[in-house]
Every structure is written in C-alpha cells, then in structure tokens.
Amino acid sequence: MAFKVNYNQQRAERDRAKQAKKEAKQREKEEETARRKAERENPSGDHSSSAELPPDADHPEDRADGAS
C-alpha cells in the first residue's frame, strides 16, 4: 500500500531547499563584495583572481577596437 501524501513535509523540504539556495547566493555575493573592496583598497596587489576572466572582461573601456 502506498503512503498517504504528506503536504506539510513536502512543503517544509521545499522551503529548506529554497532557504539553503538563498543563503548560498548571499554568501557568494558577500565574498564577491569583499573581493572587490579589498581590490579597491589595494589596487597595486597581484590580480590572480582576474586571471580566470578574459582580458577584455576586466576593463571593457580599455579595448583597442572601441566596441562596447
């Protein structure tokens, strides 16, 4: 015999998953903000974190072709 559907349990599980996703997104946002703030305070530091970005993605206004 199949179990009776437990809506409250399913809803609680969805709410937990949604909250975990929101918290992870907030953490990523805070880490990005901290990275940018540290970069702003110490602009002469090495740019090892920008190595993962394409060269023109860091400063699009510096592009030689003038395209936006």
Residues near 38 by Cβ (< 8 Å), separated by ≥ 6? 45
Please report, rounded to a whole number, the percentage of residues in the chain having pLDDT higher than 70.
Answer: 62
pLDDT computed for residue 2 by the predictor: 80
pLDDT computed for residue 27 by the predictor: 98
Q: Which helix (H) or strand (E) holds 52?
A: none
pLDDT category of residue 15 using cuts at 50, 70 and 90? very high
Q: Do residues 4 and 18 make contact, with C-beta atoms less than 8 angstroms apart?
A: no
Report the distance separating Cα 5 and Cα 56, nearest Å: 54
pLDDT computed for residue 4 by the predictor: 87
Q: What is the mean pLDDT of the chain?
A: 79
53 pLDDT exceeds 80? no
Report the distance separating Cα 42 and Cα 60, nearest Å: 21
